[in-house]
Structure 1
């Protein structure tokens, strides 16, 4: 029991990348700033939202290809959504968008299942999130797509 608890404490949190477009300069000009949560990625500016969106999608795809080259999602990590207090799927929905039952079901989700690599894009085309989450959170996040499933984490201790 103690060994299992120690193993759980040593687990890292699932990786999360957030790519976003924000207005830049005068709003009437339509210029946007592309930013990424990874420190190695510099902010970039574009004269139009359309150009910014194309660049954002390319940027997300670049991160996805690097993740795949690195072996895909890691099975020995905690859910990235849980690290955010499951706010990606438990936030109150805008009025009229969902009935109370949908909110209750989303709020009741508990982390579980294998670690999956997910991508989320908001409908406005301003935010993209790549994350290693558990399968249950991925299923509860609206507009979230599962791209890959991590192999199970190796079990330590005990006879094989």
Structure 2
């Protein structure tokens, strides 16, 4: 991360506000002074993110020139301070109960410590990732360990959904939104087969589609026999990279997130928590960050971790109160010293 240098730091902070106007509320951009057409509350979130993303694309900078904007202001965006650290990322923050949205460069430590903040992955800004050597595409199989791309793609989308969906969105609706986002085409259309819904134990759960529709995130289209067809209203999701095939492999892994696979009959809140943990490359994360991925409070997250241990999905977990980090251990995971000795 670049914290200082000989060149003047470039300010990369963009904010839009939802302001009341005759004919309906409008979004106002603090930077370009642009007003949108009247929007309703349900579509304001998507419109705000679309506008903010356009600024980030138009004002793109090489990684070595990006600096933590939170640090530049004395880390006033969060109460808990452990110092800046990690890569500089694009952090999306929901403010004033959704009446204001901020997109800014922030280091990983500041992004994790700022409330109601999620990292916007590069894949949602059209940044293409390098293809595997030789153009070989790996096929996902049930029960096999995921590659780093599938794991990262699921974590990125969970992070993005934690900011775009209302905080009270149910775990089952979040799992459904994840599958729709990863399987949608370039126009935002996706047809969810009846067999997929049955495998997720979500078949016939019409209230989940209604929940996402009321949040302004999708709308149902012409129904097809044995499936549900929807169109995503979140314009930012339409700019995902890489292609649909790679995203579908990530969606498949999310159904069986080894090594934390739970029975399909397990409650959705447990399956979502296990998926959030399995999507991390390192088995440690801020408690608040894990809670945001699942839409839970920190206390609820700790209770769910206890339930995962009771179900033997996790071997153990520990909360470091001084750093507010949680560390978890997968079943049959060798102790670190033993693994180092055998290598």
- Equivalent of residue 94 in structure 2, options 121, 126, 131: 121
Give the 3-state SS of the residue equivalent to 2:112 in structure 1.
helix
More helix by share: 2
Check conservation: 1:23, 1:32, Cα contact below 8 A: yes
Does 2:69 match 1:87?
no
Please show how residues 57-68 of structure 1 align to structure 2 within 5 Å.
Answer: 57-66=49-58
Q: Decide which structure has the larger Cα Rg and report it.
A: 2
Number of residue pairs matched by the alignment:
119
Question: 1:11 deviation in Å?
Answer: 4.4
The structure-2 alpha-carbon separation of the partners of 1:10 and 1:130, relative to structure 1 and needing over 3 Å to count, comes to same
Runs (5+) with no aligned partner, structure 1: 1-6, 91-105, 150-160
Give the equivalent residue in structure 2 for 1:20. Answer: 17
Report the counterpart of residue 267 of structure 2 in structure 1: none
| CA-to-aligned-CA distance 1:47-73 (integer Å, 9 cap, x gap) | 643344442233234345546xx46x6
**TM-score, structure 2 normalization:** 0.30
Number of the residue aligned with 2:36? 44
Residues 19-53 of structure 1, C-alpha deviations (whole Å, 9 max, x = no match)? 1112225xxx7x213111322x5123516433444
Alignment gaps of 5+ in structure 2: 123-343
Ranked by relative contact order (alpha carbons within 8 Å, sequence separation 6 or more), the top structure is 1
SS for the counterpart of 2:86 is coil
Equivalent residue runs for 1:126-137 within 5 Å:
126-137=99-110
Structure 2 Cα separation of the partners of residues 47 and 114 of structure 1: 35
Would the aligned equivalents of 1:11 and 1:78 in 2 still touch at CA under 8 Å? no
CA distance in 1, matches of 2:70, 2:63: 15
CA distance in 2, matches of 1:21, 1:134: 27
Quick one: distance in 2 between partners of 1:83 and 1:143? 20
